[in-house]
Structure 1
Amino acid sequence: MITGMSERDRAPISRAEAPFYRFMFAILDAYHEEGIRDRMKLGAYAKQLLAREPLPEIPAGLSREEFATGLVEKVDRMSGIDPAISVSWLMDALVAWNDCAEVYLWTSNIIEGREHAQVLMQPFYVLAIECLKRRLGPFPLGQPGIPASSDERKMAKALVGLGESLATDLQTGEATGRYLEALRWDPDDSEGARPRLAISLTLHGDTESAAAVITQAKPTIFGLYAGAVVAYAQTEGTGPARKALLNANMMNPDVANILTGRRKMLGMLTGKARFDEAQYVCLMLAPVVNGMPGFSAWVKREIPAGPMKKGRR
């Protein structure tokens, strides 16, 4: 059984959800327990599993692809309002059109919040990439200044997700390759591959290349924190690293509060924009927490605890 996945974790909430979760856990076992890592072999196994499921009724006049795409769009609009219906639609979409990469990207969202979620997501990013390569062809055609197509952005999203998962598992060399490939599909970097690439290079010991990459990253909160990580590794936490950290902290102090353990990460949306944003940034910083343990301690030293708001513990 996969680490962190209890029988309770595996139990579907309703009969409508059972086919989807049965498929999801079969893929997780194949990848993490049986070691089926090759994307073509994993894709073939997924198709074998899907062939056992009954084909949903497809309205006249719709192709399988159109039917599946429509179901995923309905799930997007639902935004998690009814999980049972959503996963039922996702399963119908995948059975109807086995190359529906959008379902695999959604599956990674569903796993979010489980223990070891970042690592568990790997096979679904692998499957999404396999589907999209059949759809787009094996080689990216993107050029700087020319917006990537919707499918090219999805490819970049899947590659960034896989890279982040590999980096969290401290497979920084593999992660670096995925981020570089994501940038070839989407040179304008709508998925934030550059700050992740800078972190991965830093953890791999190549701070010089990391510093060059981070200068091209967008100045998001995560991008600023990635810059602080690179500067910390280069200067052992002095001078430029302090400045980079303080700049990042000004944009959202809750990131430092979570990194230092002053606030607990809840792993779910709270409705508080700043805290939810901080949780997301900390998820992206998981490779740093795992691979550079001194970073969190340094943040704690450099960012003193502020006064707690009334009612906050």
Structure 2
Amino acid sequence: MARFFPFVGAVRHTIWGWPAVLNFFLGGMGSLFYAVSFLFDGSLSAHAPGNEWGFWRLIGPGLSALGFLAVVTEAGKPRHAVFLLQHLHRSWMSREVLAGGLFIGGAVGYALSSLPALKWLAIAAAVCLSVCQAMMLYDSKGVTLWSAAIVPLQCLSANLLAAAALLLGVALWTGTAQMVLMAATMVLILVDGGAWVVLLRHRPTTEHRNARIPLFKTSSFLIALGVGHLLPFLLLVAVLVINAIGDGQGVLMHSLIPMTVLMVLAGGLAQKADVVLDGNSLRPIQRGENFFHRYGAHGE
């Protein structure tokens, strides 16, 4: 069997910067915050001050809009962003832009008119936006770590966890009962933590083993898993236990839950930064290999 040697070795390459990280974080969290909020619509709307939970739900499209705005600041010619819609048939980035526009427009329209059609349009577009972001990473075949099969699942689980944590914080602010939300957040902490560990241990080839090395930096490792998963889980367990024995429930709710939300969001941001900024090693090119087959010709 012939052996192939790299013609161009694996190299770290700056593909996107912090604006893209913010887009992945804010867009994914905001879109699923909006969609997931409807699962708890009955209890949230019933307890919100003045029955105005619909106002708080607009946090979702607002965060997604901020994410897109951050990307615009990174673009060399922001006015050319409209041309992204010309590649819907093959570009996940184009689909993300379309889904984002439909989501933001549908959510604002539903808040103003309460038309059910706009509600379902906004929910469907919100889910599509998060999926497009996950697939945009996975479809970048030239980047070793991003092409791992676990990446889309980890991206979606991180978005869901951040959305649930934000929803928990808003529910506390509006005086809504948080027991179900706390339980859901604890489950998502375990799911996303497991997906992150699988990503760290994913090493089918030498390329993948080398690509994940930057993710083991002590600071990012501690923030992503320690601050973003372990500590929030323990805090929520403490809140549930103390709530069960009925000792100081109100004080703990208003002190520990905000800490939990901030920790989860910090961990989620650290995960996005690790994947986008540190996991960006390009695959090596071997002699005789088709460059466009390896890296793709769509220029994303």
TM over 0.5: no
Q: TM-score, normalized by length of structure 2?
A: 0.28
Which structure has more relative contact order (CA 8 Å, sep 6+)? It is 2
